[in-house]
Amino acid sequence: MPCSATSASLEREGFSRARTLDVRRLGVLPYAEALELQRALVDDRRAGRIGDTLLLLEHPHVITLGVRGGRSHVLASAEALAARGVEVQETGRGGDVTYHGPGQIVGYPILDLNPDRRDVHQYVRDLEEVLIRTAADFGIAAGRVSGLTGVWAGDEKLAAIGVRIARWITSHGFALNVTTDLDYFSLIVPCGIADRGVTSMSRLLGRPVELDKVQQSIVNQFSNVFQFSHLEN
């Protein structure tokens, strides 16, 4: 069953109980700390100590390497990266190389897809849908590109998605460029795709965008797409 199943279809399958989402807004968090936090929360979710959770945060400047990527798609030297205060971190997520930094909203859903949402393809498509709807809330027409993961405005990537699913517990997630300094993407081949650019909400709109308002839109649309009633800490 797709993870965006309606409550009516859930009831037909016997899963009519209300679903809640714990949303945690963490501000700026170093990547290594966020990785350790995710690992702990995945264990907690699998053991039933917590419910479904969405982490929303920003990272200091960091380049992350997915399981499909390698350092061959990092264009800058170690010295150049150090001079700009950019770390490089290996991850356990899917996808290739990407950049995280200030002005970018990163979302890490820690969800149990058992028993009714065990569809990896649909899970990724639903994450895309959340971000497409979020962009639309601000008047941005974004969408998908056939054969590619993520959210796009024309030929430019607005949001990257790279997930990990272990025994149907999710981690990692998405990164939406809001007021991101796009020059940092010149340090890499974003997602290993050399012939497409990147963009941000503020660039598309030609004005600053408040991150708090975008975070709230993400929470609303995440709740809508995944059929949660959200609860914030």
Catalytic residues: 191
Residue closest to 161 by CA, chosen among 131, 195, 205: 131
Residue for token pair 């941000």: 200
Which residues fall within 8 angstroms of residue 38, CB to CB, at 6 or more apart? 55, 108, 110, 171, 172
Q: How much is the CA Rg of the chain, to the nearest whole Å?
A: 17
Helix, strand and coil content of the chain, in percent to the nearest 5, comes to 35, 30, 35
**Which residues are CB-contacts of 181 (< 8 A; sequence separation ≥ 6)?**
101, 102, 103
* HEC assignment per residue over 79-106: HHHHHCCCEEEECCCCCCEEEECCCEEE
In the structure encoding, which two tokens stand for residue 139, read together?
A: 């008047």
Do 228 and 222 touch, CB atoms closer than 8 A? Answer: yes
